[in-house]
Amino acid sequence: MKLRVLLYMAVVALCVQSCKLGHRYSKPTVNIPGGYGVATVEDNDTFSIADLRWWEIYTDTVLQSLIEKTVRNNKDLKAAEARIRELAARRRIDAANLLPQLNGNVYAQKEATNYGGDNYKNDPELGIKASISWEADLWGNLRWAKDEGTAQFLESIENKRALTVSLVAQVAETYFELVALYNELHIVKQTLNARTEGVRLAKLRYEGGLTSETSYLQAQVEYARTATHIPVLERDIALKENELSYLTDDWDSRIRHVSMSDSIGMMATLPAGIPSSLLERRPDIRAAEQRVIAANAAVGVAYTNRFPRLTLTAQYGAESETLSTLLKSPVYFLSGALLGPIIDMGRRQSAYRAQQHVYEQVCYDYEKSVMNAFKETRNAIISFNKATAICESMATLESSSKSTMELAQLQYINGVIGYLDVLDAQRSYFDAQLGLSNALCAKRLAMVQLYKALGGGWL
């Protein structure tokens, strides 16, 4: 009869367990424009550069090698992977809480009683028992906990992807900055050679009485001024190389010297895709949504914590005073416990209200993440478009400055103009060369930022 009652209770619990109280998750609605508002970039195409793998965007083999080392060795990524494994294990715990738990117990005890002082009695006991316990998830408390753990696990995966996007972009930016520094150093050394020849020529003309000493001294000043750029650039190059070594966790390999050309890592067009694809592509937004799902599940846990909880327990085994009769002495125990709050001074209700406000905060954070992603993308598109225009202007300036300098040098040799005019032309050409190098670097960095803003780089 007792066994039948327990079975009835289990059947009822299973039927009731289909009930899951609480608010179902619904994705927060965020109003973002239908386009990026920048006509020079295709923002309504279904294709986006974020759909390309990072090695299809960054075609330079040196850069690809650096990114591969970073993805393989970076300590932050390894920590993120460990976090994923941790939450995967915790998720299995939440799933196991829904199932019965079987335990075994073997014990031996010796007890003596002497009630009244004159009735000493030896009461040993030996036992071997198996017990099974199960908490019936009447209101969905355990299922909400499982949903919360699952969302946290998926969030950790998206966080690792977001970290990968950031690291790929950081390596690409550092690499392109290093390329620009090498190019500047090359420009400075070329200019320094020209300054050396200028000093020699100015000295000959001064000693020949063709010019004053002022021109010769000015040529020396320009030579010294140009030379000051070299140690500064060498320092910056060493710092950038150290930064790349830190990112890749490779301090032994020397980074191969790279040259600068406008074709490195650049595409003719950079389609951004439609704005709604940000919600599907960017891992940080997907991680933010998983936080919303986890917070909603936490609300469900807090809500169902207010109701009674039913635990069913069954034991079967044997116990006896002597080992010889142990297996001949079966024993069983059946119980059902219903535990619930009666008066808790509003603790559980307050915990539920507090969790609702936590959910509200997480929703606002999600909306902010979406808005920030849209802003970053618009800024990146604008920066890339303007960087392209700046490169074209700087290329024209560099070409014109070079022609002006060559003409000024020819006129100076023929005695038409003074040396100060030549120095002005040389300085203009030098500045134009550096300006073009910086503009090309800025264009590459703008491409990196656009690719990152669109959520590319985690595959």
Map out the domains of the chain as residue ranges.
16-98+137-306+346-453, 101-135+310-340
Beta bridge partners, 334, equal 314
List Cβ neighbours of 65 (8 Å cut-off, separation of 6 or more): none
Q: What is the pLDDT of residue 265?
A: 54
- Class of the domain covering 16-98+137-306+346-453: mainly alpha
* Cα gap 311→316, rounded to integer Å: 17
Helix, strand, coil percent values for the chain (each to nearest 5): 65, 10, 25
* Cα gap 418→336, rounded to integer Å: 106
Tell whether the torsion through CA atoms of 159, 160, 163 and 169 is positive or negative. negative
* Cα gap 78→90, rounded to integer Å: 19
37: left (phi over 0), alpha (psi -120 to 50) or beta: left
pLDDT digits (tens, 9 = 90+) for 414-455: 878 877 888 888 889 999 999 999 999 999 999 999 999 988
Is pLDDT at 16 greater than 70 in this prediction?
A: no
* Cα gap 58→45, rounded to integer Å: 22
Beta bridge partners, 310, equal 136, 338
Q: What is the pLDDT of residue 269?
A: 63
Q: In the β-sheet with 101-109, what is the strand arrangement from edge to edge?
A: 101-109, 125-136, 309-320, 330-339
| Token pair for 218 | 């000015």
Query: Which range is least confidently modeled, 107-116, 262-271, 297-306, 336-345?
Result: 262-271
pLDDT digits (tens, 9 = 90+) for 230-274: 999 999 999 999 999 999 988 887 777 666 665 555 665 677 777
Q: What is the pLDDT of residue 339?
A: 80
Is pLDDT at 147 greater than 80 in this prediction?
A: yes
Q: To the nearest whole number, what is the mean pLDDT of the chain?
A: 84
* Cα gap 379→265, rounded to integer Å: 20
pLDDT digits (tens, 9 = 90+) for 34-74: 777 665 454 456 678 888 899 888 888 889 999 999 999 99
- Class of the domain covering 101-135+310-340: mainly beta
